[in-house]
């Protein structure tokens, strides 16, 4: 700041005078062109200092467009009079209505993403094309998925062959259980036979031992029978061990240990033993079945991926945007910053109004709403209110109302700026004044200038409501009053004027 002060201090006085004059001129130029008439009227003291009609572009435009009025104004100003236009007031009928502005939006819009990743092979549509449900939009390169499908079909055949082999192994195992059962019966008879032989030789041995002790037989004969007894004992023990070995898994305790009750009938017992002794083979069949299911599921997945590689339209409408090009690599899902394609339905459009909370009670479902569009001035559309949001936005103190608009002539497009008008009451009679004759103070009050005896006088008025181009007077004016409608920025209380009727 000190350096700036030193710099300004060193500027010569004449230069300071020139700079100050230029600065004041620039401020006057900005104030005269970038402030509104009602704003200047609220601060007349400042306006007298900073406003100059000679610097106002609006003033010169008015002079150019109203040469005749300018000539009268020049004449009246020479006589210290202000030339104005006036309007004689009278009551007229009007419908209470609320006006809003909005942007047309599609009633249905769908962003198209791909469920699979890949490179775009072909795009079948362009922006503006009409599409139907299931119309092809684009196709991704599906060669990888097709190769996977061939491998998975081969895997299914392998799994089926493994399943057939497992079934054959189970069948063989069940036959082996049946064979084993009869082998056990055979071994059981063998044990009984060897035991009988052992008992017989044991009796012979006992008798010969008694004879030997009585010196009836020789030592050699006793040793021979003793050797035979040992052989029969070994044969019996061997047969008994073989029987125990082959009986493993076929005994009553094996059935009980597996959690079953020992059946009485032979057929039921054999059937149960087959199930107990073929658990591995049955498990192999289950594994083979699961492998077939997994391979079939892989085939379905690959077929679905191949199908999803061709992206189709889920709705009827128009292609609004194509954000990708052929040959471009895309990812699956909605992770991309922009959708591949956007489709909109323009057969019906939505007008979404943000209605002030004080007016929301005046709207109802099914109520008619009249829509005009700046770009189509010769058409007027009628829509019906379809939805009224029950919640109020705490930030804006507004509620959202959706109006459905039929696009029968196909002239409406999403994004168009529209003006809506909703009639919210019965016909009324009141005095209406043009908005250009009112200098507002707030939403419900302001002042106008009424004309009496070639002079104007400021009158405070209360407003009932504001329409698009006029204001409804609640208090302050009466039928027959003359009000000024032009040059309000020059008027003041008691000013002498010259006027023409509007």
The DSSP code sequence of 378-431 is EEEEEEEEEEE-SSPPTTT-EEEEEEEEE-TTS---TT-EEEEEEE-S--EEEE
Q: What is the pLDDT of residue 334?
A: 73
388 bridge partner residues: 401
Q: What is the pLDDT of residue 42?
A: 62
Nearest to 229 by CA among 206, 212, 249: 206
**Residue 43, helix vs strand vs coil:** coil
Mean pLDDT by 10 residues, the chain (502 residues): 61 70 80 69 68 72 58 44 87 81 90 91 93 94 92 92 92 89 88 91 89 85 89 91 87 86 87 87 92 93 92 93 92 82 92 90 89 89 92 92 90 91 83 90 90 91 83 90 89 85 58
The angle at the Cα of 70, spanning 65 to 72, to the nearest 5 degrees, equals 140
Cα separation of 253 and 261, whole Å?
Answer: 10
Q: What is the pLDDT of residue 9?
A: 61
Element (H, E) at 139: strand 136-140
Element (H, E) at 492: none
Backbone angles phi, psi at 366, to 5 degrees: 90, -5
Q: What is the pLDDT of residue 5?
A: 56
Cα separation of 181 and 173, whole Å?
Answer: 12
Overall CATH class of domain 88-94+427-501: mainly beta
pTM here is: 0.53
Q: What is the pLDDT of residue 460?
A: 93
369 bridge partner residues: 383
Determine if residue 487 is left, alpha or beta; phi over 0 gives left, psi from -120 to 50 gives alpha, anything else beta. Answer: left
| Secondary structure in 3-state letters for 256-293 | HHCCCCCCCCHHHHHHHHHHHCCHHHHHHHHHHHHHHH
Would you say 457 and 138 are in contact if contact means Cβ atoms under 8 Å apart? no
Say yes or no: domain 98-140+319-423 is CATH 2.40.30.170: yes
Cα separation of 466 and 488, whole Å?
Answer: 19
Q: What is the pLDDT of residue 75?
A: 41
Q: What is the pLDDT of residue 196?
A: 92
Q: Indicate the pairing of strand 341-356 with strand 317-322.
A: antiparallel
Burial category of 474 from C-beta neighbours within 10 Å (exposed 0-12, middle 13-18, buried 19 and up): middle
């Amino acid at each position: 700041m000190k350096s700036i002060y030193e710099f300004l201090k060193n500027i010569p006085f004449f230069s300071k005078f020139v700079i100050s004059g230029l600065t004041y001129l620039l401020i006057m130029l900005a104030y005269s062109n970038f402030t509104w008439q009602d704003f200047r009227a609220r601060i007349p003291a400042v306006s007298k200092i900073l406003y100059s009609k000679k610097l106002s572009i609006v003033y010169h435009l008015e002079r150019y467009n109203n040469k005749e009025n300018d000539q009268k104004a020049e004449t009246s100003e020479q006589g210290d009079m202000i030339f104005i236009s006036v309007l004689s007031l009278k009551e007229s009928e009007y419908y209470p209505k609320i006006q809003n502005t909005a942007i047309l939006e599609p009633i249905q819009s769908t962003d198209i993403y791909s469920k699979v990743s890949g490179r775009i092979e072909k795009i079948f549509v362009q922006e503006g094309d009409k599409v139907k449900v299931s119309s092809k939009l684009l196709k991704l390169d599906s060669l990888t998925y097709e190769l996977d499908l061939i491998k998975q079909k081969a895997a299914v055949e392998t799994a089926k062959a493994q399943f057939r082999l497992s079934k054959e192994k189970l069948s063989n195992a069940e036959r082996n259980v049946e064979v084993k059962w009869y082998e056990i019966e055979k071994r059981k008879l063998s044990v009984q036979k060897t035991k009988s032989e052992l008992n017989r030789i044991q009796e012979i041995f006992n008798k010969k031992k008694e004879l030997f002790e009585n010196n009836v037989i020789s030592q050699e004969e006793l040793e021979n029978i003793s050797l035979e007894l040992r052989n029969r004992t070994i044969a019996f023990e061997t047969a008994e061990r073989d029987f125990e070995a082959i009986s493993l898994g076929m005994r009553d305790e094996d059935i009980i240990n597996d959690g079953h009750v020992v059946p009485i009938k032979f057929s039921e017992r054999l059937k149960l033993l087959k199930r107990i002794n073929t658990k591995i083979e049955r498990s192999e069949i289950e594994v083979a079945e699961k492998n077939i299911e997994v391979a079939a599921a892989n085939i379905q997945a690959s077929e679905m991926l191949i199908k999803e590689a061709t992206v189709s339209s889920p709705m009827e409408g128009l292609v609004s945007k194509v954000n990708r090009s052929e040959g471009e690599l895309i990812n699956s899902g909605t992770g991309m910053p922009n959708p591949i394609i956007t489709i909109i339905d323009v057969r019906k459009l939505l007008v979404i109004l943000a209605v002030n909370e004080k007016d929301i009670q005046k709207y109802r479902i099914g109520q008619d709403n009249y829509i005009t569009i700046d770009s189509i001035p010769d058409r007027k559309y009628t829509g019906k209110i379809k939805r009224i949001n029950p919640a109020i936005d705490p930030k804006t103190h507004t509620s959202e109302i959706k109006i459905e608009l039929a696009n029968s002539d196909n002239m409406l497009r999403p994004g168009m700026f529209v003006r809506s008008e909703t009639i919210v009451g019965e016909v009324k009679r009141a005095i209406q004044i043009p908005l250009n004759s009112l200098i507002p103070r707030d939403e419900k009050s302001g002042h106008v200038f009424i004309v009496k005896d070639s002079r104007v006088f400021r009158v405070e008025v209360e407003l009932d409501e504001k329409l698009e181009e006029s204001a409804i007077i609640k208090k302050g004016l009466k039928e027959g009053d003359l009000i000024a409608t032009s040059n309000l920025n020059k008027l003041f209380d008691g000013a002498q004027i010259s006027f023409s009727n509007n």
